[in-house]
A and B are shown apart, each in its own frame.
Chain A
Amino acid sequence: LAKTTQPISMDSYEGQEVNITCSHNNIATNDYITWYQQFPSQGPRFIIQGYKTKVTNEVASLFIPADRKSSTLSLPRVSLSDTAVYYCLVAQYSTLTFGKGTMLLVSP
């Protein structure tokens, strides 16, 4: 199971773009990269998933360089309601394992 490393916390202001980078140096060929968001006292919520290059949906973008040893979750124009913990997960066929995540605090 590929280990992931991400910053413990990040601070931002409303309206800014936030980029959270996750490193996964020993990612395997068939591993996917998935990001979840968790608000206090709620279950994690799927944000985005990718394998390579760039993936974009209505919530975020995910950038994955060619070597796939890292990935960056990009949240455009964050609002106060984006304050949450963001988890980067890498797994192939095993059950998803959560790390400590990145606590994003968005201030007015």
Chain B
Amino acid sequence: EPEVTQTPSHQVTQMGQEVILRCVPISNHLYFYWYRQILGQKVEFLVSFYNNEISEKSEIFDDQFSVERPDGSNFTLKIRSTKLEDSAMYFCASSEVRPPNEKLFFGSGTQLSVL
């Protein structure tokens, strides 16, 4: 089965530093997403991306966050100046068509630790 791949699996950074989380969605998928999950809490939506622009974003996705599809395969999430509360597991997902009547494929996540 095709899969979404995320790198790195773990990222440790100092508060105030910039981080870039990388994702390779499934090749024929058109919709891309970032979610995050703080330890012990629910999976939270951050942003959706289609046709090289943001489709929808949550309140969490403020000016410190940005997404980009720099080439035909990668999809990145950048956090400009990390805060302690950004520590979480970040999941990338992709889908062939827009939900809800299509399934999202999630990656294994990047565990971000901000010290």
Q: Is B109's CB under 8 angstroms from A42's CB?
A: yes
Interface residues on B, range: 20 to 34
Partner of A99, one of B42, B109, B111: B42
Asked whether B100 lies within 8 Å of A34 as measured between CB atoms, the reply is yes
> B106 to A44, Cβ gap below 8 A?
yes
Contacts of A93 in B (CB 8 A): 98, 100
Overall SS of chain B's interface = strand
CB B31 to nearest CB in A, in angstroms, measures 9
Bound-state CA distance A38–B109 (Å) is 12
17 contacts between A and B (CB under 8 A): A31-B100, A38-B43, A41-B89, A41-B108, A41-B111, A43-B4, A43-B91, A44-B91, A44-B104, A45-B106, A46-B104, A46-B105, A49-B100, A49-B101, A91-B99, A95-B48, A97-B45
